[in-house]
Amino acid sequence: MVGGGKEDKSIHCAISGLKYSNTPLGEKDGRITPRVEKLSIILDKANLKPVISNQILVWLITHYAVAAGLSAGIMSAGSASKFIENTAIIKTTMKAIREGLAICERMGINPKTEKANRLYLLPLFISVPIAKKIYSNDALQLMFDGHINHSPAEIRQMIDDIIDSGVKYAVITSNLAQLKSYISSNQTNKSK
């Protein structure tokens, strides 16, 4: 629900106003503990729509895979606004996200149990137009641009983590590798 980045000593963030945005909370072992309940109350007072999950690891691990693929797509497009205009990159991004989710499955994490992953599992002719609509939200675009502009090294590490995990779990990550090559070629062109 919240995203952005740090610049010098300032933190720039955006809060998504999307109807289905929320802030997942939970303990690794799935228990609902007093500290999770207390944090939920605090976040609720801040209108950050907390949702307590008994499977937070599923959310975290699949979110990492989704974030790596999505960030790779946005970085390869150059910005969030350029991303939503580029159907080819969105398609490649959706496929890259699916590669990451396939790795999760090989790890024993079922991405289908997390509602947030449903979009990425739909056929492309359905998921691409929906993604364009969702990602055209101004707050989301600010978040995405904050991520790619302030955390490019972290994003590159996430991409490499997913590609390396693909090797480990025998999942081909050709779409994510393609996005990684776009990012590398864009940076080479910018530095000339």
Mean pLDDT score of the chain, rounded to an integer?
Answer: 90
More confident residue, 2 or 150: 150
Q: Is the pLDDT of residue 148 over 60?
A: yes
Instruction: Please list the residues that pair with 11 across neighbouring strands.
Output: 6
Helix (H, G, I), strand (E, B) or coil at 3: strand
CB contact set of 183 (below 8 Å; sequence gap of 6+): 72, 75, 76, 156, 159
Are the C-beta atoms of residues 146 and 13 closer than 8 Å to each other? Answer: yes
pTM listed for this prediction: 0.88
pLDDT of residue 130: 95
pLDDT, tens digit, 9 for 90 and up, residues 52-87: 999 999 999 999 999 999 999 999 999 999 999 999
| 14 Rama sector, left if φ>0, alpha if ψ -120 to 50, beta otherwise | beta
CB contact set of 134 (below 8 Å; sequence gap of 6+): 18, 119, 140
Segment 158-180 shows an average pLDDT of 98
pLDDT, tens digit, 9 for 90 and up, residues 20-52: 778 899 999 999 999 999 999 999 998 888 999
pLDDT, tens digit, 9 for 90 and up, residues 83-98: 999 999 999 999 999 9
Q: In whole angstroms, give the CA distance from residue 160 to residue 136.
A: 27
